[in-house]
Amino acid sequence: MLARYGVQGIHWDMKDGKPVPNQEWFDKFTADQSGKVRKSVGISIGLESITGLDRINSAAGGDIWADQERLDAMENARKILRPNGIHVITAYNPGDVITKAPEWEMLKPSMDRMGDAWKEAIFAKSDEAALSIINDLRNQLRKTGYDQAMQFTNENLTGKDVVTVQMPN
């Protein structure tokens, strides 16, 4: 309970057998426009949970914004990960270009099925069943215009910078 909700009687109280956050914490982060109180105390955005001190984003639950060593480490990481600083991306994302293909409306339901098909294949009773699921999807993609949409995408990206890796900022 401590790791998930924080300290009983401070961050939450038990009501009808369930942990309920205290109104004081709702009021505190509503008043704090910077979000620092929420992170330092451990209340995540949108009141997804009350976890006491934020064990993910704080230095042992302390004030993460006052920890100069942590701030220096973050700045060093930025220099490594962004040696040229932050720039607006001018490259084209193939995922955006394919949506402009004439076949996209017919292809999209097949593309949307991809994640579910992989899950089904992973939990299939046999390798043959898994391959059948994957091959059925491949055939469906081809029938709904995948090859033509990829040709459209490649033609529209020829000679342009293309995004090959996407990472969160």
* pLDDT greater than 90 at residue 64: no
Q: Which amino acid is at 38?
A: R
Burial degree of 44 (CB within 10 A; 0-12, 13-18, 19+): middle
* pLDDT greater than 90 at residue 42: no
* pLDDT greater than 60 at residue 50: no
* pLDDT greater than 70 at residue 157: yes
151 inside domain: yes
**Residue 96: which H helix or E strand, with range?**
helix 94-98
- Mean predicted confidence (pLDDT) in 89-96: 87
Domain that holds residue 42: 2-81
* pLDDT greater than 90 at residue 128: yes
86 inside domain: no
Query: Residues 6, 74: one domain?
Result: yes
Q: How far apart are CA 112 and CA 55, in angstroms?
A: 36
Query: Residues 117, 70: one domain?
Result: no
Query: Residues 46, 112: one domain?
Result: no
Question: pLDDT-derived band of residue 40, with 50, 70 and 90 as boundaries?
Answer: low
How does the average pLDDT of the chain come out, rounded?
79
70 inside domain: yes
Closest CA to 70 of 46, 44, 39: 39
What DSSP assignment string belongs to 17-57?
TEEEE-HHHHHHHHH-TTSHHHHHHTBPGGGS-B-SS-TTT
* pLDDT greater than 70 at residue 52: no
* pLDDT greater than 60 at residue 169: no
* pLDDT greater than 80 at residue 167: no
